[in-house]
């Protein structure tokens, strides 16, 4: 698992492009986010309107990590890292990934807000903090208030640390569930996420990913000023997300298989219920209604045949990761990265079509009918005058 994830970039169509573009996007994300935050805090709140520009590179990087996770789930250990193309789709997936993290951290933010409100009420509210401290001191001794404050802060820190640790373990499982289907609600489904996080394969992949991140960041930190460390940090995250996807693949495939087996049973029961109700209506119908129903049945049969033909048509291409919605197909990745433009033997693009056109031209010339490029010329001017 670790070897496959670590060597995935060597099996992609554009390794150098992924490393260079991914490192550049990561660096831009760090710099622009820091500049935007500093501008909002220290210059003017109006700079907040530049958030799409500031967070755009980070969303692209997040979307690429979603794509890496999806590729690892679908192809397993044989998957190479995908190319960093189709930035519109990457931004959409990156925004969904950010919303997923925000939703998982919302309970922690709410709890901290409640605790902060309680502290503010004790300090500046109707309760006198001096009288409260005096009561605590009388009950626990001179160091009582300090001890209570230390215990309270330690308890809050322990709860926050436990929540963040759980978040660090559960969030990749939720990301894998979202990446597998492209639907954000699957990443927020407790049953799906718990089914992934509870498997030993995912625990192994998560542990290896933590080790890969630790080693990668340790190596990248000293070279960050040289910009090389930024690319190393990006590569470490690519390896980690590949491990997340490979660890969650087994549980997600089993869940998809169970769902696929349950759908035919539900459909059969629904069809049986409809058939029973249709039989009951036929038994209670009058002869006139029966004749009318016969015509309706013929129309329904024609509709069923049309539906059957529609079902036999080739399916609409679906892009995984966009919620199962049909999308316009893009050029192949080798074409997008400039490594696979079709060229015929004569050196012209689209060789077969060009060759066919040349053959047609030669055929037209040989026939002597004056046709070229599929266009048939009419009678000559002299012939027209003679006929007139």
Query: Are 211 and 245 contacting, i.e. CB atoms less than 8 angstroms apart?
Result: no
What are the residues facing 244 on neighbouring strands?
none
The mean pLDDT of 166-174, rounded to a whole number, is: 96
The tally of domains found in the chain comes to 1
pLDDT digits (tens, 9 = 90+) for 287-317: 444 444 454 545 545 555 544 444 444 444 4
97-128 burial code (b ≥16 CB/10 A, e <16): beebbeebeeeeeeeeeeeeeeeeeeeeeeee
Total residue length of the chain: 388
pLDDT digits (tens, 9 = 90+) for 334-379: 666 555 655 544 444 444 444 444 444 444 444 444 444 444 455 5
Q: Which pLDDT does position 375 carry in this prediction?
A: 45
Phi, psi for 349 (deg, rounded to 5): -70, 150
Query: Are 14 and 340 contacting, i.e. CB atoms less than 8 angstroms apart?
Result: no
Residue 342 included in any domain: no
Higher pLDDT, 289 or 9: 9
Residue 218 included in any domain: yes
- The rounded mean pLDDT for the chain is 77
Query: Is residue 67 very low, low, confident or very high in pLDDT (cuts 50, 70, 90)?
Result: very high
170-207 burial code (b ≥16 CB/10 A, e <16): bbbbbbbbbbbbbbbebbbbeebbebbbebeebeebbe
Phi, psi for 14 (deg, rounded to 5): -145, 70
Q: Which pLDDT does position 279 carry in this prediction?
A: 62
**Distance separating alpha carbons of residues 42 and 59, to the nearest angstrom:** 24
The mean pLDDT of 174-178, rounded to a whole number, is: 95
Higher pLDDT, 271 or 307: 271
Query: Are 90 and 63 contacting, i.e. CB atoms less than 8 angstroms apart?
Result: yes
Q: Which pLDDT does position 227 carry in this prediction?
A: 86
The mean pLDDT of 11-35, rounded to a whole number, is: 92
Residue 35 included in any domain: yes
**Distance separating alpha carbons of residues 208 and 183, to the nearest angstrom:** 27
Strongest mean pLDDT among 34-48, 78-92, 115-129, 328-342: 34-48
**Distance separating alpha carbons of residues 21 and 238, to the nearest angstrom:** 13
The 3-class SS string of 117-155 reads: HHHHHHHHCCCCHHHHHHHHHHHHCCCHHHHHHHHHHHH
Above 60 in pLDDT, residue 111? yes
**Distance separating alpha carbons of residues 207 and 168, to the nearest angstrom:** 11
Of all residues in the chain, what percent carry a pLDDT higher than 90? 44
Among the ranges given (99-103, 132-136, 314-318), the one the predictor scored with the smallest mean pLDDT? 314-318
**Block residue for tokens 């029961």:** 269
Higher pLDDT, 153 or 340: 153
Of 284, 297, 322, which is closest to residue 180 (Cα–Cα)?
322
Residue 274 included in any domain: no
Tell me, yes or no, if the pTM score tops 0.85. no
The mean pLDDT of 181-207, rounded to a whole number, is: 94
Residue 182 included in any domain: yes
For residue 245, what are the domain limits? 2-260
Q: Which pLDDT does position 56 carry in this prediction?
A: 94
Query: Are 11 and 81 contacting, i.e. CB atoms less than 8 angstroms apart?
Result: yes
- Taking only Cα atoms into account, the Rg of the chain, rounded to an integer number of angstroms, comes to 33
Strongest mean pLDDT among 58-67, 222-231, 315-324, 367-376: 58-67
Residue 270 included in any domain: no
Above 60 in pLDDT, residue 324? no
Residue 280 included in any domain: no
CB neighbours of residue 287 within 10 Å: 7
DSSP state of 80: P
The mean pLDDT of 130-154, rounded to a whole number, is: 76
Residue 302 included in any domain: no
The mean pLDDT of 197-223, rounded to a whole number, is: 94
pLDDT digits (tens, 9 = 90+) for 233-268: 999 999 999 999 999 998 898 866 665 555 555 455
Hey, what are 252's tokens? 């997600």
Q: Which pLDDT does position 311 carry in this prediction?
A: 44
């Amino acid at each position: 698992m670790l070897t496959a994830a670590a060597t995935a970039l060597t099996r992609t169509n554009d390794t150098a492009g992924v490393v260079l573009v991914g490192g550049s996007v990561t660096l831009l994300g760090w710099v622009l986010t820091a500049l935007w935050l500093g501008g909002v805090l220290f210059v003017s709140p109006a700079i907040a309107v530049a958030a799409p520009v500031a967070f755009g590179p980070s969303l692209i990087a997040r979307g690429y990590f979603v794509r890496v996770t999806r590729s690892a789930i679908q192809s397993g250990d044989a998957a190479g890292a995908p190319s960093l193309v189709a930035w519109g789709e990457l931004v959409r997936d990156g925004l969904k990934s950010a919303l997923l993290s925000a939703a998982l951290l919302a309970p922690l933010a709410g709890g901290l807000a409640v605790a902060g409100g309680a502290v503010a009420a004790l300090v500046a509210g109707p309760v006198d903090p001096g009288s409260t401290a005096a009561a605590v001191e009388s009950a626990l001794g001179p160091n009582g208030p300090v001890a209570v404050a230390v215990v309270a802060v330690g308890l809050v820190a322990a709860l926050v640390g436990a929540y963040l640790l759980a978040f660090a373990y559960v969030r990749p499982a939720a990301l894998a569930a979202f990446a597998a289907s492209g639907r954000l609600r699957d990443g927020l489904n407790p049953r799906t996420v718990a089914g992934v996080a509870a498997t030993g394969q995912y625990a192994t992949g998560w542990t290896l990913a933590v080790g890969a991140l630790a080693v990668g960041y340790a190596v990248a930190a000293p070279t960050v000023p040289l910009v090389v460390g930024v690319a190393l940090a990006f590569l470490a995250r690519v390896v980690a997300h590949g491990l997340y996807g490979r660890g969650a693949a087994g549980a997600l495939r089993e869940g998809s298989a169970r769902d696929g087996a349950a759908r035919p049973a539900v459909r059969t029961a629904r069809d049986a219920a409809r058939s029973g109700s249709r039989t009951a209506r036929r038994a209670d119908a009058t002869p006139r209604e029966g004749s009318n129903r016969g015509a309706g049945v013929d129309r329904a049969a024609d509709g069923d045949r049309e539906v059957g033909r529609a079902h036999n048509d080739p399916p609409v291409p679906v892009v995984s990761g966009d919620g199962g919605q049909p999308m316009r197909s893009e050029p192949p990745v080798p074409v997008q990265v400039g490594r696979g433009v079709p060229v015929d033997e004569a050196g012209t693009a689209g060789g077969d079509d060009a060759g066919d056109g040349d053959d047609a031209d030669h055929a037209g010339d040989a026939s002597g009918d004056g046709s070229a490029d599929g266009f048939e010329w009419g009678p000559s001017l002299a012939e027209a005058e003679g006929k007139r």
